[in-house]
Amino acid sequence: MSAERLKLLTAALRSDTYTQGKDTLRNDGGFCCLGVACDIYMKETGDGEWSEPLAFSKIGARNFIAGEDSSTSLLPYRVADWYGINCAGDYDSANHVAMLNDRGVPFTQIADIIDAKVEDMLSRPWNMHS
């Protein structure tokens, strides 16, 4: 099931639905690839919501809130769990794709990387919160 959910993410990254942004999950400029993951989670589960733009943010950053999890820049645990991602250990795939995103690597290339590494990503822990 997790590989199928990651395929939803990569399909969304390849679509024209999301404008690519950087530095936060979502801001006035668009979405980080991890923000797209949050948005897909929300649409598929009915759980979670985006906050209004944060008052102190010059770029209109928004929190993604899912249950008691809330984040502006990291994939919330609830979302990671839905994708089947273990958030313990020292393999840092989520941060790796987020860094690629913030360096301007297009969503389509990030989707290709996720597709190529899907088995590795699901079998090794993703350390997103260290």
pLDDT by residue (tens digit) across 112-122?
988 887 766 66
pLDDT bracket for residue 89 (50, 70, 90): very low
The domain ranges of the chain are: 2-123
Mean pLDDT of the chain, nearest integer: 85
pTM of the model: 0.87
Give first-to-last CA distance, the chain, whole Å. Answer: 26
Confidence at residue 53, expressed as pLDDT on a 0 to 100 scale: 92
Percent of the chain whose pLDDT exceeds 90: 61
For the stretch 62-80, pLDDT in tens is: 999 998 889 998 888 899 8
Confidence at residue 92, expressed as pLDDT on a 0 to 100 scale: 53
Mean pLDDT of 98-124: 84
